[in-house]
Chains A and B, each alone.
Chain A
């Protein structure tokens, strides 16, 4: 949006740098952060002052207020709005110019389940209308429901760009959760059989590169009791984690130890630039 100067590279919209657009709001709509609003200004006046910059008719202000469901509180000061209402106002601002390209940064932040579903339907609806809708989010399960294509960026680099289905299928192909009283013995044997094994905080093993039946057979041969043997297909979240394993900026201390995925070698060096 030309708000922050890039360290390197360029960004263009419809082939032109954002700053050179003739009618920025009519070409790109953006929800950047909720509540980037003067608390003393009413929702309607906030949208009106934005509309006027791009010569957008006043009637359009009421249209978008209606579309996001804020018509009843349009005259109220935005400072009194809840997080969800602020989010809706931000979305209204993005829609103001009826643009072909829309950018939403964390659109469901602070919304209740009803609001989340509303945003999901809105985004899909906008895409159906022929618009390009970019959504950045850390909520992988939400993205799995909403997005067609996924772009994974970590440490400022493009890691993956492909349809959601392909991404999850191409990922490690899932893993198997294994619980056993003799976990350590089983782990050694599994690694000996070529599997990569991670230990969850609760002691469960997450096993990759070997299928559940083979694990069961191995356990039987060893005479080890299994308490759980649960295969998982990769979710978008897991595919994301696998892809960005070496580019996590801030890692929680108790993050699951899934270090041995062959496609993503671990990198212990400090990282800059988080996953988007």
Chain B
């Protein structure tokens, strides 16, 4: 005989649920953040705009220069800087995008769903920052290299052009991409601290564009001490090459030795940081913002 005498009055007990071993991890959160990033159309479009504007403005500026080559003076022509001029615009778009990646969650209330699923908030911030950083650096470098190659290809003779092996060129191109990527992260950091889209974008524009205007109005002793810390100033150092002079070719010595003569103040000087030191300082800003943001995330109600 079977022992089919179990009573069926008790419901099927599901509780406690069988849980997998371990704990939700950074990898799980990164996967989720990747889904978030790619599943909102406005974010995808913003990345497209970064590329189109960044490359497009550079191409337009280069085409303009080339078209008027014969009729205009070009003693201080900087082929590298000219092709990368779109970076100045792209930094704003990617900075705003960085802001939106964070404030979009607050504005829509998604943040409460996110933190209900993953209550370790600093870990969420690390995942979000990491995923955005990877995507942003890829997009940024695409903008930088595409701008450079398209621009240089357009600078046909008699205009002078640079190649990646031109001294400082590779650094300037890679640096341009890194620069706008970090500005994107700066936006994200401001987004965490400020939480509101308008406020965070305001802060971003203030730091990037307004602050330099205010500083430049101060006495020169202060300008000299402070200006080099401005993100825009650091960016200028990262994008420009001191030897980026269109007349480089005619400066070749008789033995083929390139004599770097700075004809145009593309940067460099006592009151500026070298590109990589500047980059380090810029990264420092982002780290400070993210740490402050992380502490605030834990302290504040979601």
| CB atoms of A2 and B115 under 8 A apart | yes
| CB atoms of B32 and A4 under 8 A apart | no
| CB atoms of B112 and A3 under 8 A apart | yes
B 28-78 contacts with A by CB, 8 A: 28-29, 31-33, 35-36, 39-42
Within 8 Å by CB of B15, from A45, A50, A132, lies A132
Q: A30-B116, A99-B17, A100-B16 are in contact. Are A49 and B39 (CB under 8 A)?
A: yes
B residues less than 8 Å from A132 (CB atoms): 15
Chain A: interface residue total (CB-CB under 8 A): 46
| CB atoms of A23 and B112 under 8 A apart | no
Q: A3-B302, A49-B36 are in contact. Are A130 and B22 (CB under 8 A)?
A: no
| CB atoms of B24 and A24 under 8 A apart | yes
A residues less than 8 Å from B113 (CB atoms): 32, 36-37, 46, 50, 93
| CB atoms of B14 and A130 under 8 A apart | yes
Could you tell me the distance between the alpha carbons of A26 and B16 in the complex, rounded to whole angstroms?
10
B residues less than 8 Å from A3 (CB atoms): 112, 115-116, 301-302
| CB atoms of A27 and B19 under 8 A apart | yes
Q: A98-B14, A130-B12 are in contact. Are A53 and B28 (CB under 8 A)?
A: yes
| CB atoms of A26 and B15 under 8 A apart | no
B1-33 contact mask (Cβ, 8 Å, vs A): 1 or 0: 000000000011111110110111000110111
B residues less than 8 Å from A24 (CB atoms): 24, 116-119
B residues less than 8 Å from A35 (CB atoms): 109
Could you tell me the distance between the alpha carbons of A3 and B105 in the complex, rounded to whole angstroms?
14
B104 contacts chain A at the CB level, 8 A cutoff: yes
A15-39 contact mask (Cβ, 8 Å, vs B): 1 or 0: 0001101111111001011011111
Please give me the residue from chain A that is nearest to B16 by CB atom: A100
Please give me the residue from chain A that is nearest to B27 by CB atom: A55
A residues less than 8 Å from B42 (CB atoms): 40
Q: Which residues of B contact A (CB under 8 A)?
A: 11-17, 19-20, 22-24, 28-29, 31-33, 35-36, 39-42, 104-105, 108-110, 112-120, 299, 301-302
New A-B contacts (12) at CB < 8 Å, excluding given A19-B119, A36-B109, A55-B28: A1-B116, A24-B118, A32-B113, A38-B105, A40-B41, A40-B42, A41-B39, A53-B29, A53-B32, A53-B117, A54-B28, A130-B14
26 contacts between A and B (CB under 8 A): A1-B116, A1-B119, A3-B112, A3-B301, A23-B20, A23-B24, A24-B24, A24-B116, A24-B118, A25-B117, A27-B19, A32-B116, A33-B109, A36-B112, A37-B109, A40-B40, A46-B39, A50-B113, A50-B117, A53-B29, A53-B114, A54-B24, A54-B28, A100-B15, A101-B15, A130-B14
